[in-house]
Amino acid sequence: MNPNAPIIEPPAGKRPKPKPENRDVRSCNFRYAGRLSNDSARSLSNLFDKFAFNASIAFEAYLGASFRLKLTSMNQSTIQEYLEGIGLDSYLVPCALTVMDAHLLMQTDLPLALPIIDLLLGGGGEPLPGPRELTDLDEEILGNASLLFVKEIERIWRPLNLSYQLLPCVRPASVAPLFAANEKVAVLLFELEVGTVRGNFRLVLPTSFVGYLVRHLNTSHALPPDDRHDLRIPTLRLRMLNCHFTLSADITEMHVRIRDLVELAPGQVIKMRAPVREAGCLTVEDREIFKANPVRSGSLKAAQILSTMKDDLADVQ
C-alpha cells in the first residue's frame, strides 16, 4: 500500500448513514420516588440490629431487670399514613438532629412504659391492671430512659459525629409539625420485652435523613480500618475495659490509740506514726495492687506508682 496515494472519499449521496440509536423509554411512577433501595434497607437493618443488642445490655444494667429489644420489621410510608396509625396509648418522644433540620421520633407502647417507671422507683416492674395518665414525675423518669435510648442510637452512628437534642414528650396531635407535610418516613418496628411485659417500640426516621445516614456510613466503611470507627458489636473484653472500679491511695495497717480517736475534733491533726518516706498503697476494690505515693497533678490528686504488690497481684490474677 502506497502511503502517498490520495484518499478518495465516496460521493456525498453514497456515504453510509449512521444507524439510529435504540432508545429505551420507560414510564415513571413518582409514587416510588424516595423509596429506599434493597441495599440501603439492608444496611439500615444491620445498623439497628446492633442498636437493639447494645440497648438491651444497657437497659438490663440500668433497670436491674430482664430487657430484650429485637428489630422485627421495617417499612416506609408517608408521615400522614404513620400519624393515622398512632394509638392513644403511645408514649412519643421526639429528638432534634443537627443535620438537615430533621427529627427522629421514638414511640413506645404505654403498657411498656409504666413497668419501666415502676422498676426505676424500686418496684418489681409488674404489669398494671389498667392504663392511666402519665404524671409530671412519670414523664421526668421516662425522659432519663429516653436519653439512654438516644445515646445508644448515637453510638451506632458515631463516625458521623452527629449531635442531637432530646425534646419533651408530645401528644399524637403535636407530631405533624416535626415533619414536612409530604415527608416519607422509615418506621423501624422493634419487639420490646420488659420483665414479663411485651409490646412494641418504634423508631421513625425521615427517609431523606436515612439516605444521608446510609450514604455516609458506607463511605466510612470504605475507608481504611485506621481511619474509621469500628461499628462491630464490642467484645466482652472491651466492655469489661469500660467498667468502673473503686480506686484509692491509702496508708494501710496503721495503728492508733482509742484515746487519740476519742479526743479528735475538727481542725486537729492526728499523727499516723509512719515515716514520711514510707510508701502507701494503691488499692482497687480493697485489694492492694501497687505501692504508690500520693502526689498532685495540677489541681487534682494523683498517685505515683512505685512497684507492684506481687503477692496480692498473684491472688487477683
What pLDDT digit, counting tens, does each position of 100-159 carry? 788 999 999 988 888 898 888 888 888 777 677 888 888 888 988 999 998 898 888 777
Look up residue 264 and give its amino acid: L
CA 40 to chain CA mean position, Å: 20
pLDDT(20) > 80:
no
Tell me how far CA of residue 115 lies from CA of 108, 135, 147, 172, 239, in angstroms: 12, 14, 17, 22, 27
Burial of 299 (C-beta count, 10 Å sphere; 0-12/13-18/19+) = exposed
- CA-to-CA distance for 281 and 304, rounded, in angstroms? 10
Least-confidence region, from 87-91, 181-185, 192-196, 280-284: 280-284
Nearest to 190 by CA among 73, 53, 63: 73
Nearest to 51 by CA among 118, 106, 111: 106
The confidence band for 231, taking pLDDT boundaries of 50, 70 and 90, is very low
- CA-to-CA distance for 47 and 56, rounded, in angstroms? 15
Task: Determine the pLDDT at residue 234.
Answer: 57
Other Cβ atoms less than 10 A from the Cβ of 51: the count is: 21
Burial of 291 (C-beta count, 10 Å sphere; 0-12/13-18/19+) = middle
pTM to 2 decimals?
0.58
- Residues with Cβ within 8 Å of 280's Cβ and at least 6 positions away in sequence, in order, are 249, 250, 251, 252, 291, 292, 293, 294, 303
pLDDT(267) > 70:
yes
